[in-house]
């Protein structure tokens, strides 16, 4: 057991007002874990999602779990469980053993005050380690609770109250936290391999609260929540890690009487963050549903959630299919595959294709009405034909329209007519029938007789002039900096 003095925390974590997700997915999306219920009893349940059909494995112990117990899948299929027992935070690994459940205790973190708060961070990339965040009123600690050599150990400590938690790399080294100091919350980066070295990440405005919600490793897309454009009211925005462009706050991500919580970004869109699809949980008076938004599209699609959706849980495939896990009485373990509408990208040169102001761009104007199509004749209608007995003459053929091509041949003389021969007394000499005639097909030069360049010299071949019109120049597209090469702390706007 490892003991630590965690200072009590007052209040809840800022920015964590949304209800917790119904299931936790591993970083690679192969496993999921949740706390299921059988009547009034709660027990851990592991979901396997990488096969052709998902299936669930219950992992009950001798006694039911408390409702607030946390579970998290590991990369090898075991489930990490976090229990609160007699003022201590205990951690164990659960795994199926035939008809029963095996448990491997990892240790505990002792908290002398009942007001201390310790929670699991999102699953780390790789699935071999798991971390927890211990928050106090004046300091925050990061604990390695699974994957260490000697049980839970503290790996970083930083001043201020921390919240959130987003992994910025695939190695599980750079962790972004939202730190509150001096009455303001700013996202910072904690380097776990350098003793918890802290560097700033988001500095949108001096007096704004800037939080990081999601980050994509391939494109560098960041989803943030900040009150910089509207003080006192947090708004969703997006930026690119390492880019010098300001953070944008689209108007389409503002819904009246609804709260938006992003939970998944489409992977595999290297260097194209504008084309990444972002899935959002929308909570409103009518319930919860799914929203899909792309930065380039500047609109949000609203999709119905499947019955029994584990609210706030899902992941994207690289080809743009959203997988939403759900559980019903008929299907206790299912995954709905949803393909949102294809992105409607604006045409080049239109107003919608040009970047708008920092606080969001107005929705693009509706497209122009298409030209009316020419109506086809009614198959049942009849058209009167001209009366051949009427006195109105039919229109004759018009003058022939000249066409491009060889000139028409001279008309042949009529049969029986004679062609006069030239007068021998005239001054016009007769052509000699034995004189050579010019060749209508001039011969090409013999390649063998052409002079060849000497050694060491190169004779350029003649090229025919290209009479095709030059294609229009392609519009220049700014290439964002990938996450792996982006210097931290450069996402500074204003």
pLDDT tens-digit map of 27-62: 999 999 999 998 889 999 999 999 889 999 999 998
pLDDT tens-digit map of 140-150: 999 999 999 88
Arithmetic mean of pLDDT, 91-106: 95
Q: What is the pTM of this model?
A: 0.70
pLDDT tens-digit map of 354-374: 444 334 333 333 333 333 333
- Sign, CA dihedral 168-171-173-175, equals positive
Under the banding of pLDDT at 50, 70 and 90, the label for residue 21 is confident
Mean of the per-residue pLDDT values of the chain: 77
The rounded percent of the chain whose pLDDT value lies above 70 is: 65
pLDDT tens-digit map of 141-183: 999 999 998 899 999 999 999 999 999 999 999 999 999 999 9
Rg (C-alpha) for the chain, rounded Å, is: 38
CB atoms within 10 A of CB 214: 18
Chain-centre distance of CA 473, in angstroms? Answer: 27
Arithmetic mean of pLDDT, 85-90: 89
Under the banding of pLDDT at 50, 70 and 90, the label for residue 375 is very low
pLDDT tens-digit map of 335-345: 999 999 988 75
pLDDT of residue 115: 60
pLDDT of residue 57: 96
DSSP code string of 117-175: EEEEPSPPTTSS-EEEEEE-SSEEEEEEEES-SSS-EEEEEEESEEEEEEE-STTS-EE
pLDDT of residue 426: 47
């Amino acid at each position: 057991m490892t003991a630590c003095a965690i200072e009590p925390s007052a209040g809840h974590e800022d920015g964590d007002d949304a209800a917790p997700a119904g299931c936790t997915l591993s970083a690679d999306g192969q496993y999921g874990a949740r706390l299921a219920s059988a009547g009034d009893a709660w027990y851990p349940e592991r979901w396997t999602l990488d096969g052709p059909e998902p299936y669930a494995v219950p992992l009950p112990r001798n006694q039911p779990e408390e409702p607030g117990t946390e579970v998290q899948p590991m990369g090898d299929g075991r489930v990490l469980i976090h229990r609160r027992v007699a003022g201590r935070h205990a951690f164990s690994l659960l795994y199926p053993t035939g008809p029963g459940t095996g448990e491997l205790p990892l240790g505990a973190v002792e908290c002398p005050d009942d007001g201390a708060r310790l929670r699991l961070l999102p699953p780390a990339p790789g699935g071999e380690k798991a971390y927890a965040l211990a928050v106090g009123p004046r300091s925050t600690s990061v604990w390695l609770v699974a994957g260490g050599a000697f049980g839970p150990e503290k790996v970083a400590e930083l001043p201020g109250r921390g919240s959130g938690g987003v992994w910025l790399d695939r190695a599980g080294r750079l962790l972004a936290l939202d730190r509150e100091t001096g009455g303001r919350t700013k996202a910072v980066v904690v380097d776990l391999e350098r003793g918890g070295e802290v560097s700033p990440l988001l500095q949108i405005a001096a007096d704004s609260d800037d939080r990081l919600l999601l980050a994509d490793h391939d494109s560098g897309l960041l989803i943030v929540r900040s009150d910089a454009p509207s003080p006192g009211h947090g708004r969703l925005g997006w930026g690119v890690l390492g880019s010098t462009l300001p953070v944008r706050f689209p108007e389409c991500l503002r819904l009246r009487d609804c709260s938006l919580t992003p939970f998944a970004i489409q992977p595999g869109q290297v260097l194209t963050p504008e084309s990444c699809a972002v899935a959002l949980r929308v909570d409103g008076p009518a319930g919860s549903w799914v929203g899909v938004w792309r930065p380039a599209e500047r609109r949000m699609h609203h999709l119905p959630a499947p019955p029994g959706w584990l609210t706030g849980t899902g992941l994207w495939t690289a080809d743009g299919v959203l997988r939403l896990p759900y559980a019903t009485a008929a299907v206790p373990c299912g995954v709905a595959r949803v393909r949102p509408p294809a992105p409607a990208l604006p045409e080049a040169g239109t107003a919608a294709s040009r970047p708008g102001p920092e606080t969001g761009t107005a929705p693009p104007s509706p497209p122009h009405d298409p030209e009316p199509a020419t109506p086809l004749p009614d198959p049942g209608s009849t058209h009167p034909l001209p009366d051949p007995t009427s006195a109105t003459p039919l229109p004759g053929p018009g003058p022939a329209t000249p066409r491009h091509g060889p000139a028409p041949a001279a008309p042949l003389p009529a049969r029986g007519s004679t062609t006069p021969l030239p007068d021998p007394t005239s001054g016009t000499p007769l052509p000699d029938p034995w004189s050579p005639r010019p060749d209508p097909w001039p011969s090409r030069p013999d390649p063998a007789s052409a002079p060849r360049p000497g050694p060491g010299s190169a004779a350029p071949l003649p090229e025919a002039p290209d009479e095709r019109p030059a294609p229009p120049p392609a519009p220049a597209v700014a290439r964002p900096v990938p996450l792996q090469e982006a210097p931290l702390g450069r996402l500074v706007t204003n």
